[in-house]
Amino acid sequence: MKTVVFFGSARKNGNTKDLLNSFLTNLEGSVEIIDAYRSEISPCIDCRYCWKKRGCSIDDKMQKIYPLIDKADNIVFATPVYFGNIPGPLKNIIDRCQVYWASTLRDDKFEKGSKKGIMFLCGGAPSFENQFTATEMVLEGLFGDLGAFTAGKVYVPNTDEVPVKENFRAKDKAGEIAKNLRR
């Protein structure tokens, strides 16, 4: 089983990492972690190169990420949520996945349900209605373009008051998702 993790936190060892670690500890197979803040991925420039060819015109580290996505069984996004959405460096990576959206134009789309998508979202603010909705919508849309279905999600609000390391329920749920992937 191959898993690609997109880590969207500026803090290497914060709440998002604690939640992700609970998942990784219980996961089998190979894992590649893409740290968005340290990946130097340029934003999409909407040149539409990918509309005609499977690939991207921008020659940066994203070129090494595409094959990881292609071969992955599981695609994981672990990120804090800022102002209701994904931090900029991770959004750059997501936007560069336009290659997969454009597969509908090229007629080389992934088979639906060929991958599993997992979301781990942390928010510092106390829980409020629709706190994670915008991020979930972005990731659900991306999962669809990747041929993935959502196999698990853990949303943790109020991490400014109750850090993930003290939130055993959230950590246990992340671990259970990893165990369920084995089946």
CB-side neighbour CA atoms (13 Å) of 132: 20
Overall pTM > 0.85 = yes
Tokens linked to 116 = 């599993």
pLDDT of residue 113: 80
Residue 169 confidence class, pLDDT cut points 50, 70, 90: very high
**DSSP letter, residue 172:** H
Q: Is the pLDDT of residue 148 over 90?
A: yes
Tokens 């959230």, residue located: 170
pLDDT of residue 92: 98
Superfamily (CATH H level) for 2-181: Flavodoxin domain (3.40.50.360)
Tokens linked to 12 = 């290497």
Average pLDDT over residues 68-80: 97
Amino acid at 143: F
Residue 97 confidence class, pLDDT cut points 50, 70, 90: very high
Average pLDDT over residues 115-136: 97
Q: What share of the chain is helix, strand, coil (3-state, %, to 5)?
A: 40, 20, 40
Tokens linked to 112 = 């639906």
